[in-house]
Structure 1
Amino acid sequence: MSRKMILIVEPDRDVSELFARALETHRDCKCYLASNERDALDLLKEFTFDVILADMGAVMAEDYSLLRKFRRIAPTTMVVVDAYLHQKHHISRALSLGAEDYVIKPITVEVFRKKMDALCFAVA
């Protein structure tokens, strides 16, 4: 299995670094961090990612325009949104627009790793 490239789009630097450390210390992957849409799109122009883990707030801004851009620019990249339970209706909308799955915050490192293992690192 080759090294996974993961883009984490999260405005909260502490959360994005926690997600990155949880994955990079657990699996053979390289995480890139973007705190906003511009940075995320710049990274998508430079690298090919296997997975985009994106904050629901960033995804749903401007009628889900960032999610639509992800689908247009990187149609084969798996998109996973991270959201809070009160954003349940936004999760449904994101899934209908092309996100493959979601994680609910707050989440423990162990549960996060298991969820990402099942989504992104399952052996075919």
Structure 2
Amino acid sequence: MKKILIVEDEQKLSRVIELELQYEGYETKIADNGKDALRFMQEETWDLVLLDIMIPELSGMEVLRRLRRTDDHTPVILLTARDQVHDKVSGLDLGANDYVTKPFQIEELLARIRAHLRRPIEVTRKSEQLTVGELSVDLHTRQVIRSETEIELTPREYDLLVYLMKNKNIVLSREQIMEQVWGYDYYGDTNVVDVYIRYVRQKVDKEFDIPYIQTVRGVGYTIKDVSK
């Protein structure tokens, strides 16, 4: 039985979510503030966390920030009444896997949950690396190096780079990138992919002579191994 932590201070909403999840066969627990949420995360192992941004004592963003210091794997879906791009991007930058804007249909939330629980946690060996030319990524330590220079990436930028490198020399559409990196079929504007490609380029390509990340007009993006 999969375990889901519901972090939500609106009692009626958290109860509705809990009942729906239990009906679907999930084990659940509710935290109505950030401090309890962190305590539950430390005391137990969760398959997925539903995390409201606006909660008392510690904000959802702060809970997420602290969680990701020690846990890169547990899927986190943000629940927010805010429909601002900045809030969504901030949450994704901190390591959230997905977000749902209130009010939402419970069927959509359940579909997002199923999608994330289907994704296996990647288990890597200490020595496993991806390389493209002089760019390398250690999948165990998450260290990114180009030409002996270490590059710092946010969790979302790292996931995007890894997906490109795993598919080097293959042109990937924005929809493919969105589904694989963000973890669900995205039905809205895919401009967020362009934004994150720009972020990664600034860090991986800008200071070097040869750009690895290429735009294929009308299709999407690829990372090219120029040594091939």
TM bin, normalised by shorter chain, reads: 0.7 to 0.9
Cα separation, 2, equivalents of 1:20 and 1:84: 19
Distance of 1:56 and 1:115 partners within structure 2:
18
Deviates more, 1:82-91 or 1:32-41: 82-91
Residue 84 of structure 1: CA displacement? 2.4
Q: Number of paired residues?
A: 119
Q: Which residue number in structure 2 is paired with residue 106 of structure 1?
A: 103
Q: Secondary structure at the match of 1:76?
A: coil
Q: Distance in 2 between matches of 1:18 and 1:87?
A: 25
How far 1:11 moved relative to its partner? 0.9
User: TM-score scaled to structure 2, two decimals?
Assistant: 0.47
1:73 to partner: Cα distance = 3.9
CA shift for structure 1 position 58: 3.4
Q: Residue 32 of structure 2 contacts residue 55 of structure 2 at CA under 8 Å; is this kept in 1? A: no
2:104 maps to a residue whose letter is I
Measured against aligned partners, the alpha-carbon deviations of 1:45-80 in whole angstroms (never above 9, x if no partner) come to: 221001111002239839x32111111243321111
Partner of 1:86: 83
CA positional deviation for 1:123: 7.0
For residue 116 of structure 1, the aligned residue among 106, 113, 118 is 113
- Conserved in 2, the CA contact under 8 Å of 1:58 and 1:66? no
Aligned match of 1:14:
12
* TM-score normalised according to structure 1 size: 0.83
Q: Calculate percent identity across the aligned residue pairs.
A: 31
Q: In 1, distance between residues paired with 2:39 and 2:94?
A: 22
Matches within 5 A, 1:1-124: 3-26=1-24, 28-58=25-55, 61=59, 64-120=61-117, 122=118
Write the distance in 2 (CA, Å) between the matches of 1:25 and 1:70: 28
| Cα contact 2:83–2:101 (8 A) shared by 1 | no
Query: Which has more radius of gyration?
Result: 2
User: Residue 100 of structure 1 aligns to which amino acid in structure 2?
Assistant: N
User: Within 1, Cα distance between the matches of 2:16 and 2:87?
Assistant: 24
Q: As a proportion of its length, which structure holds more helix? A: 1
In structure 1, list runs of 5 or more residues that go unmatched.
none
Q: Which has the higher contact order (CA 8 A, sep 6+)?
A: 1
SS class of match (2:115): helix
Once structures 1 and 2 are overlaid, which stretch shifts more, 49-58 or 80-89? Answer: 80-89
Cα offset, 1:85, TM superposition: 4.7
Q: Distance in 2 between matches of 1:25 and 1:81?
A: 21
Q: Which amino acid aligns with 1:23?
A: L
Conserved? CA contact 1:10–1:34, under 8 Å:
yes
Report if the CA contact (8 A) 2:37-2:63 is conserved.
no
* Structure 2: stretches of 5+ with no match in the other structure: 121-228
